[in-house]
Each structure stands twice: as structure tokens, then as C-alpha cells.
């Protein structure tokens, strides 16, 4: 199993997060969904680490630790994006006129 594509997707999610603004509620919602899905994917890879092709100097433990750190980043992006989405929805409802 090759995980380079999955790691590239993680980098893309991280780059999207860096560009996210507090006013972008729709982008935050989409990013929240993507990061949660990626968290789940990394967890599946971590569970099936025996099927991953390792480099010469990598061990299963090292890879599991690396994947866990990527999972933590995806979790933080998910939570932060959800907060931005919620706050942008609350802010927009405060200024509506009936």
C-alpha cells in the first residue's frame, strides 16, 4: 500500500486551512468535512500498517507515530474549521433584519 497520495491530500488540506479566513463559512464547512474524512483514512492506514510499504530506515512504530501526528493535525483543523463555520453562521444571523 502506497500512502504518498494520502500524505499529499493532507498537505493540500493544511494549505487550504492556512488560506481560510474567519468570514469563509462555506469553505470552513467543506474543510471540516475533508479533514474529518482524512482523519478517518489515516486511522485506517495506521491500523493496517503491516500492508504499507516501508522505506529502508522506517519501522512500523515510526510510521504509526508519524500517522498519529498527522491525525492530530487533521483533528485540530476539523475543530477549528467547525468553530469558524459556527461563528460565521451566528454572526450573519445577528445582522439580519426581519
Task: Please report the pLDDT score of residue 89 as a whole number.
Answer: 81
Query: What is the spatial distance between Cα 79 and Cα 85, in angstroms, rounded to a whole number?
Result: 10
Intervals of the chain under pLDDT 50 = 97-98
Q: Is 30 left (phi over 0), alpha (psi -120 to 50) or beta?
A: alpha
Distances from the Cα of 14 to the Cα of 38, 54, 75, 87, angstroms:
11, 24, 11, 21
pLDDT computed for residue 92 by the predictor: 55
- pLDDT for the residue numbered 1: 79
Q: At what angle do helices 4-19 and 25-47 cross, to 10 degrees?
A: 150
Total residues found in the chain within this entry: 98
Amino acid at each position: 500500500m502506497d500512502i504518498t497520495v494520502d500524505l499529499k491530500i493532507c498537505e493540500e488540506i493544511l494549505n487550504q486551512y492556512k488560506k481560510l479566513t474567519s468570514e469563509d463559512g462555506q469553505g470552513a464547512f467543506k474543510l471540516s468535512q475533508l479533514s474529518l474524512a482524512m482523519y478517518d483514512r489515516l486511522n485506517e492506514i495506521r491500523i493496517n500498517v503491516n500492508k504499507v510499504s516501508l522505506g529502508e530506515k522506517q519501522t512500523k512504530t515510526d510510521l504509526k507515530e508519524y500517522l498519529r501526528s498527522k491525525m492530530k493535525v487533521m483533528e485540530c483543523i476539523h475543530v477549528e474549521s467547525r468553530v469558524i463555520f459556527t461563528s460565521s453562521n451566528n454572526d450573519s444571523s445577528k445582522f439580519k433584519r426581519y
